[in-house]
Amino acid sequence: MRCSTRSARRPIVYTRSPFGTIVNEFMNTPVNDLVRESRVVKSKPAVNVVENTDAYVLSMAIPGYTKEMIDITVKEGFLKISSKDTGDKTGKFRVKEFDYSSFNRSFRLGKSIDLQSVNAKMEQGILSITLGKKEEQKPRTINII
C-alpha cells in the first residue's frame, strides 16, 4: 500500500480479505499516481477467418490505422501482416490508453491456397484479406447423366 507525501489524509482500511487488499490499494492511491501508472497493454489485433466456397477471408480489426501503415507479404507458405510504429512524438502524454504501435501477425497458409489470388482491402478500420482457393480445392457439382 502506498501513501502520497502530498496528501495528509488518513488511509482507509476496509478488510483483510484479498478483495479488501485490492480496495485498500486503490482507495489509498492518489489519482495522480493512478494516472502516472497507466500503461498501454500491447496486444495483437483481433482476427476472424471465414471460409466460403471460393476463398478464405481473413478480417483484422485495426481501427485508426491506414493502408499506408500496413505491410502484407506472402512468403514461404506464410501470410505476414505487420505495421510500422507511428508513436505520437508531439508532446508528453498525461494519460495514454491507446496507441498505434507496431504489430506483427503471421499465419501458416495451407496447400489449398492459390498464392496468386491473394488480395486485400481496408474499410472502416477492418483489414480484409481474401485468400483464394486453388481450383482443385473448390467444391464442384457433379451432374448425373
Q: Could you tell me which residues come within 8 angstroms of residue 1 by beta carbon, excluding any fewer than 6 positions away?
A: 11, 24, 25, 28
Provide the CB-side half-sphere exposure for 110 (13 A, CA): 9
Provide the CB-side half-sphere exposure for 103 (13 A, CA): 17
For 16, 63, 78, 99, the CA distances from 58, given in Å and listed in that order, are 49, 16, 13, 23
Express each pLDDT in 41-100 by its tens digit.
456 889 999 999 899 999 999 988 889 999 999 988 899 999 876 666 677 777 877 777
Task: State the pTM of this model.
Answer: 0.63
Residues 129 and 122: their CA atoms lie apart, in Å, by 9
Q: Where exactly are the structural domains of the chain?
A: 1-37, 47-87+95-137
Q: Which three cell numbers stand for residue 96?
A: 495514454
Three-state DSSP at 105 gives: strand
Report the CATH fold assignment for 47-87+95-137.
Answer: Immunoglobulin-like (2.60.40)
